[in-house]
Amino acid sequence: MKNASMILSHLTNQPQFKYLKQQACYSKYLSLLGEKWQKAIAFVYIKNETLFVAVTHPGFKMELHYNRDLLKSVLTQLASLDRECAMLRAEKVVVFHSKYRSIVKESPDDETIPYYQELATSQFRVETEDPELKQMFEKIKETIQCNQ
């Protein structure tokens, strides 16, 4: 009985599914870049020995343009170290802005909900003669005590 990973590896080795293997290599390439670049890059592909890098915002275009040598060297190292990704070769790097984003969506777990500690203390004097105000201040003291 074959398991799922064995079936998938057999399928990806078929000539008609060579693009699946390339896509896996592109994902590895993006994972090797820093988190900042991973968020900035929408997708990458190689055509005619040119690495095309699509950015999500035009502001990243200039910054990645200055780091073309870094992008090329990471690609070269990946191709030399991972024999499955040996077909990744590029002589030039072209950076462009794309309105299309990758299909992978962030999970809601990535969002952070800030929690704050109560900084006030319930150690203060109530110097009023009005019983209503005094009662309100006592409620505030209790609320502060509960929040700590």
The mean predicted confidence, pLDDT, of the chain is: 84
Same domain for 64 and 124, yes or no, is: no
Rounded average pLDDT over 28-36: 90
Contacts of 82 (CB under 8 A, 6+ apart): 25, 28
pLDDT at position 107 is 57
Handedness of CA 50, 55, 58, 63 (dihedral sign): negative
Same domain for 95 and 46, yes or no, is: yes
Domain assignment present for 45: yes
pLDDT at position 39 is 87
Contact 102, 61 (CB under 8 A): no
pTM score of the predicted model: 0.60
Q: Which domain holds residue 55?
A: 7-105
pLDDT in tens, 61-117: 898 889 899 999 999 999 999 888 888 889 999 999 987 765 555 555 556 777 777
Report whether pLDDT(52) > 90: yes
Assign 5 to helix, strand or coil. helix
Domain assignment present for 81: yes
Same domain for 22 and 64, yes or no, is: yes
pLDDT at position 53 is 92
**What b/e string do you get for 19-51 counting C-beta neighbours within 10 Å, with b at 16 or more?**
eebbeebbeebbeebeeebeebbbbbebeeeeb
Contact 74, 28 (CB under 8 A): no
What one-character DSSP code corresponds to residue 67? T
CA distance 113 to 93: 39
Same domain for 63 and 89, yes or no, is: yes
